[in-house]
């Protein structure tokens, strides 16, 4: 076997079997068949590529339900909302309803899609840091259950809508708690110097709560979101404690306790062996060990608690398939080498590595190999050096053009963040369950791109 390449990150171990999958990163149904071909939910990767071509997104229906029910059951007594920005389409909306979860949306169009898919509006929460008047009107007229208010301008708009005769949903005030989440700067959302919410430390959050009460707005609670892909529970506990103190301060100044506390989402998942998230039951147990005691200390009744997992539900059930076009050997300054494997997708269908330095696990999907593992980098076909899909992985030394590469845990924020860079066409999305495949979002065509070009 080849020696571990010194240019590989510490978490990436030289595999004893280059055909083995790092199971924690893949859907439970993923396995190699007797021919060495990867199967997902009983469906062969090669059959999927023959039918739908590449690049291709896959979603394991049973895995989605499994993850959703784990959160619903672990957080029994909480209201669990699926954070739709991770991935939203009609099928996912129906899966969320089937699991008995609520739905949070961040734009008017996400709300319109949910309503078109006949999701119960009373179980929808509308988020966003810059909701337009039209979006607020749509939320009010459609009867969404909650609006998370992000700033004073939104409170003023909602006050005006109510004075004009609209019935506003229940309101939660988004509070930035000052918690420094251990995640990438761009997806840490609770520190002071960022765009979301009312500052706790400056007193702005309490002032806004008091103002909303003075105007008779339908205020029911507070909301926090500390970031995304968070692997430790400590940040959630710190944020919750600070929010409980805010509830107590509001109670002391008004004589009333707000009944709802939403801790947001951002629960991390496994992409590579570097990721060690707590299982949902352990997360819930850690919060239950703290919050009732803090409420008792502050003289509060335990609020109605809510969470908003998105990535944690849909991320693990997604797989992407790509076709290899070019393989290059690159000599490194250290004296080692790296195999560059260029595929027919890239940052247009998964910009997370370019945006956040995100890491993924991958595997050769169309066959098994007896070749030794080599340090590889899976890259796209776009005109950017940062067009990287998997920065560090071990693939068999005989990887070659027309092979199929599978990348795990792409269910969240890949399709949602995808683009038409270099006029790439967004891949189709195929749902899998018990040996069957069903197209749920078709591949874009060149005609789709040109339809908006009116020049």
Three-state SS for 248?
helix
Residues of the chain with CATH 3.20.20.10: 75-309
- Residues of the chain within CATH 2.40.37.10 domain(s) are 23-60+316-450
pLDDT-derived band of residue 182, with 50, 70 and 90 as boundaries?
A: low
Residue 130 has pLDDT above 80, yes or no: yes
Region 173-193: mean pLDDT is 65
CATH topology of domain 23-60+316-450: Lyase, Ornithine Decarboxylase; Chain A, domain 1 (2.40.37)
Q: What is the DSSP track for 289-341?
A: TTHHHHHHHHTPPPPEEEE--SHHHHGGGEEEEEEEEEEEEEE-TTS-EEEEE
Helices (H), 175-300: 204-214, 234-254, 280-288, 291-298
In the DSSP assignment, the letter for residue 342 is: E
**What pLDDT was estimated at residue 195?**
81
DSSP class of 125: E
pLDDT at 368 over 70: yes
Q: Per-residue b/e over 230-241, b at no fewer than 16 CB within 10 Å?
A: bbbbebbbbbbb
- As given in the structure block, the two tokens for residue 148 are 């998370």
Let me know if 249 is exposed, middle or buried by CB neighbors in 10 A (0-12, 13-18, 19+): middle
pLDDT at 68: 98
Residues classed as catalytic: 383
Model pLDDT for residues 2-43, shown as the tens digit of each residue? 666 778 899 999 999 999 999 999 999 999 999 999 999 999
Q: What are the angstrom distances between the C-alpha of 441 and each of 52, 59, 394, 444?
A: 11, 11, 31, 9
What was the pLDDT predicted at 187? 42
CA distances 435 to 41, 54, 94, 106, Å, are 6, 20, 20, 34
pLDDT range class, residue 181, cuts 50, 70, 90 = low
pTM of the model as a whole: 0.94
Kindly indicate the confidence band of residue 333, based on its pLDDT and cuts at 50, 70 and 90: confident
Q: For the range 354-357, what are the long-range contacts, defined as Cβ-Cβ under 8 Å and sequence gap of 24 or more?
A: 354/384, 354/386, 354/387, 354/388, 355/186, 355/417, 356/184, 356/186, 356/187, 357/184, 357/391
Q: Are 366 and 398 in contact (CB under 8 A)?
A: no
pLDDT of residue 334: 76
Lowest mean pLDDT among 116-130, 325-339, 385-399: 325-339
CATH tag, 75-309? 3.20.20.10
Q: Is the pLDDT reported for residue 184 higher than 80?
A: no
């Amino acid at each position: 076997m080849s020696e571990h390449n010194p240019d590989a990150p510490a978490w990436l171990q030289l595999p004893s079997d280059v055909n083995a999958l790092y199971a924690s990163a893949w859907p439970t149904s993923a396995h190699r068949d007797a021919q060495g071909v990867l199967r997902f939910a009983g469906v062969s990767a090669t059959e999927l590529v023959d039918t739908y071509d590449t690049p291709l997104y896959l979603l394991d229906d049973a895995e989605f339900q499994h993850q959703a029910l784990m959160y619903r059951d672990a957080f029994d007594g909480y209201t669990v909302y699926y954070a739709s920005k991770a991935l939203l389409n009609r099928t996912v909306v129906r899966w969320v309803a089937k699991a008995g979860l609520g739905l949070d949306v961040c734009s008017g169009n996400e709300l319109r899609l949910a309503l078109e898919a006949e999701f119960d509006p009373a179980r929808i929460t509308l988020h966003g840091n810059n909701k337009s008047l039209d979006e607020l009107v749509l939320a009010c007229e459609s009867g969404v259950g909650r609006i998370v208010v992000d700033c004073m301008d939104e409170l003023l708009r909602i006050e005006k809508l109510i004075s004009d005769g609209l019935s506003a949903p229940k309101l939660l005030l988004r509070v930035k708690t000052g918690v420094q989440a251990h995640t990438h700067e761009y997806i840490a959302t609770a520190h002071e110097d960022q765009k979301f919410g009312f500052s706790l430390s400056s007193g702005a959050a309490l002032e806004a709560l008091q103002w909303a009460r003075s105007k008779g707005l339908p205020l029911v609670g507070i909301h926090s979101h500390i970031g995304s892909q968070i692997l430790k529970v400590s940040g959630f506990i710190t944020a919750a404690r600070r929010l409980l103190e805010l509830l107590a301060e509001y109670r002391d100044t008004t004589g009333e306790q707000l009944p709802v506390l939403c801790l947001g989402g951002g629960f991390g998942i496994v992409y590579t062996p570097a990721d060690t998230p707590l299982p949902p039951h352990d997360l819930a147990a850690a919060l239950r060990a703290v919050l009732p005691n803090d409420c008792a200390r502050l003289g509060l009744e335990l609020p109605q608690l809510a969470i908003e997992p998105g990535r944690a539900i849909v991320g693990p059930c997604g797989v992407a398939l790509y076709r290899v076009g070019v393989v290059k050997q690159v000599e490194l300054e250290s004296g080692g080498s790296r195999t560059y494997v260029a595929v027919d997708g890239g940052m247009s269908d998964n910009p997370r590595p370019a945006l956040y330095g995100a890491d993924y696990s991958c595997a050769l999907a169309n066959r098994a190999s007896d070749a030794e593992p080599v340090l590889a980098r899976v890259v796209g076909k776009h005109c950017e050096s940062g067009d990287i899909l998997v920065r560090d992985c071990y693939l068999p030394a005989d990887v070659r053009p027309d092979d199929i590469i599978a990348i795990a845990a792409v269910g969240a924020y890949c399709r949602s963040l995808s683009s038409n860079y270099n006029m790439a066409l967004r891949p189709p999305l195929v749902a899998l369950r018990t040996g069957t495949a069903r197209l749920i979002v078709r591949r874009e065509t060149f005609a789709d791109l040109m339809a908006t070009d009116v020049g």
